[in-house]
Amino acid sequence: MNQVIYFLTHHKISKKRIRINQFIRVPQVRLLDENNKQVGIVSTQEALRMSEERGFDLVEIAPLAHPPVCQLMDYGAFKYRQEKAVRKSKAKQKKIVVKGIRLTLTIGQHDFDHRVNQAKNFLAAGDKVKIEMLLRGRQMQHQDRAREKFDEFIKQLENVNIEQALLRQGKSYSMLIGTNAQTKNP
């Protein structure tokens, strides 16, 4: 009896693994039949015998309850329904995509405006935008102009959230922006 109490109090029950049939090692279980009607608290051996007679599996559905709750069901169908629900929830999730826009220090005004419009479209679609600028040769002496280009770019965009501030890595600058959370949910 002491071994059973020690097992119940000190054994970590995995939430990912569902125990079935012979792997249920507790002395008593609260049993639900195949129609979700409560049978009551019965010994595990009696529950296993009932599951074999009716042609179902004994599945532990609430392992942390005292005594654990088990149900008579077709385990293969149960796993299939669970996996189908997981796939359905994954399909509904929005995957965040980071789109890239490259600027240069000597970019023309029309090209600059075109990049701003691209960024607006990306942000409207719910994507994040990474703005990059690579300085070459003597352009490294005009790093202040590069910062001004980034500031001008951000000013032309409305309701943006700077998620990663202007970052310099060697000869390149980059910044990550996204939509402002307050403007999405008014």
Compute the average pLDDT of residues 67-85: 90
Please determine, for residue 68, whether its predicted confidence score (pLDDT) is greater than 50: yes
Domain residue limits, the chain: 2-89, 98-184
Query: Is the domain covering 2-89 a CATH 3.10.20.80 domain?
Result: yes
pLDDT of residue 95: 79
Identify the helix (H) or strand (E) that includes residue 177: strand 172-179
SS3 46: helix
Give the whole-angstrom CA distance, residue 174 versus residue 132.
4
Architecture category of domain 98-184 in CATH: 2-Layer Sandwich (3.30)
Q: How confident is the model at residue 34 (pLDDT cuts 50, 70, 90)?
A: confident
CA dihedral 44, 50, 21, 26 (to 10 degrees): -10
Give the whole-angstrom CA distance, residue 126 versus residue 74.
42
Please determine, for residue 103, whether its predicted confidence score (pLDDT) is greater than 70: yes
More confident residue, 34 or 3: 34
DSSP conformation class of 160: E
Which token pair is 54?
Answer: 């009716």
pLDDT in tens, 5-21: 333 444 444 446 788 88
pLDDT of residue 181: 59
pLDDT in tens, 118-167: 999 999 888 899 999 998 888 888 888 888 999 999 999 888 888 989 88
pLDDT of residue 18: 81
Compute the average pLDDT of residues 58-66: 89
In 3D, which of 151, 161, 163, 154 has the Cα closest to residue 184?
Answer: 161
| Long-range pairs, 43-50, Cβ under 8 A, ≥24 | 47/72, 48/21, 48/22, 48/24
Q: How confident is the model at residue 78 (pLDDT cuts 50, 70, 90)?
A: confident
pLDDT of residue 16: 61
Q: Scanning the structure block, which residue is given the tokens 């994040």?
A: 128
Compute the average pLDDT of residues 94-101: 87
